[in-house]
A and B are shown apart, each in its own frame.
Chain A
């Protein structure tokens, strides 16, 4: 039982190490290192040795000693003897090993003797695999985008497959594309338009969605069930079906090329999901709270603003985030309705630039980075509000 567990543990953890080191090697090739092969066998054997040594030694040895011994062995064999790597590569390997040994340090003899330790090992490493591979897949295109935006026209033409960043060219040259798109392509204006449209959509959607969701969640009125189930019907129509009739209508109303027109369409498309998400949350708020509020002489409006909204901050912020992202990234409607560069949104502007054969690729990529970054930052910032459980303590224990 024990040896079996040690072997399983060593195989899984060394596979994990192989994938980490391979990703690092792939990234290193992008920085100009030439590699004939990834040396899977050597890494696997070394990983197997490290993890079984860890399992046998356990915690008898200080963590730092273990780290130093294992990583010196690893780097000496893999990085120096076999492939002759530069220092910065080996520092990266050292950091990976630090992470790896830190991860496996809890698996000592005692844990591996337990019946269920195989399950723990498999699930532990499966999650790690998932996280590492997923982030690699997600981050790699973004990395390419960033790298390309930092390049010059010549560098791109000379070697399109070179994915390294040349930090030697000063700050000004590095960010040249960004300066250019703001200066000569008026990206500042596009950002402003996109921001106004997105925030406006969030604002209008919430103003309509909160009372509507409250009504569906709490009030009784004729046709309530029909209304609440038919809210999502708008999603039965593909957007492209709606675009053409809307185009004619908007043309006649003079809403084309205007922010107002976009606001109307975006609000209409995001409102159903917003209502649907919010009413589910509102229903989960205990009814007694509102009854207590009624007895505290609060009006309906007061109940919504003073009780429901403060308690639904997690739901409202996730709805706001969702609506913002939809509006910020929306492309089809802006493509159809906007043809005057003065009223372009960011995504429409990128399309406009890419349609132009003379626009260099690094400017496009710089523009794409600018489109992506705000959503990323907003998501990271709002994420803490998405934690539910704000109603804890209101009713029962």
Chain B
């Protein structure tokens, strides 16, 4: 039972502002995923929580206690590193018990905790091994186990799966998800992988250049993006963004997109440049869609269960994702409800 709160947190390295006025309030025991392109400050944020990086300005609270000046070891957090950071000269048991031994806990207590953690992660048989005798996935389990034995209030994961291969990554993702259900604790997870973010998170925080772009549940982020950055960051292939010049805004309600005149209710458009976003999976080859256009098709990628069609229409590069059984015609269609409208600054325009 714990929560975390950031207020006006700033951080810069020399001249570079990494984190700029960061405010966020975590909910109790939630799985929070910080996601963003590399260099957006997400790892720095995590290291600031752990105490490995100083906080320049503002404060971070855990359970309403300011932790800014607390020594890393007193913050009751445990961190899982991207590179595992297991002690190579100790075996798995010693690695997991090391922190407890420094705390001078009793032998039985330590053994109980290590065995409990190893049972959760199914590494009981590996306790005598050295890290170099383990595979990548096993090492990551041990690293997580080391975090569990410390019984922290907040788990911090710093891109823990990015060194694993694709199959193992999917497997470990499920494991981490299960782990969160099993030990209900606050977890903060940093990744640049949108799949990890969407599958694991209770809430996602999308960061860009030290600023929060949007905070929300995976569904909110997908179906209600706040701006073009978020809209394009989540989803593969990324959302098609079509620039709409001023003259194509026919009136407050009517906008011309790919040769169709869309009649938009509940929004008043200004006579300015706008952007229209359509997700590739919302383009359909069907006569039931309201609007249609005929593109020039460049390339078709067949992924087995679906096809990705790369095409061109009026100088717009577009992509569409359609079920592989669909016969490709010379037109594509879309519906009004699947379009997102952004203003000239990339902000979402909503009713």
Binding site for B on A (CB under 8 A): 286, 288-289, 291-298, 302, 307, 310-311, 390-397
Contact = CB atoms under 8 A, between A and B. Distances in A.
A392 B99 CA distance: 22
Contact of B81 (A292, A296, A302, A391): A292
A394 B99 contact: no
A390 B89 contact: yes
A395 B84 contact: yes
Contacts of A393: 86, 88, 130-134, 139
B255 interface: no
A317 to B, nearest CB: 14
Contacts of B99: 295-297
Nearest to A392: B132
B73 interface: yes
Interface in B69-88: 72-73, 77-79, 81-88
B163 interface: yes
A307 B85 CA distance: 12
A397 B136 CA distance: 6
Contacts of A288: 81-85
Nearest to B147: A295
Contact of A298 (B77, B79, B86, B102): B102
B72 A294 contact: yes
A394 B52 contact: no
Contacts of B51: 294-295
A292 B88 contact: no
A296 B133 contact: no
B98 interface: yes
B103 interface: yes
Interface string B31-54: 000000000000000000011100
A396 B163 contact: yes
A93 B222 CA distance: 84
Contacts of B81: 288, 291-292, 395
A395 B83 contact: yes
A294 B73 contact: yes
A-B pairs, top 5 by smallest CB distance, nearest first, are: A393-B132, A297-B73, A395-B83, A288-B85, A296-B99
B130 A292 contact: no
A296 B86 contact: no
Contacts of A391: 88
A298 B88 CA distance: 17
A311 B85 contact: no
Nearest to B47: A291
A295 B133 contact: no
Given A294-B73, A307-B87, 11 more contacts: A288-B85, A292-B79, A294-B51, A294-B72, A295-B50, A296-B73, A297-B99, A393-B88, A393-B131, A394-B131, A397-B135
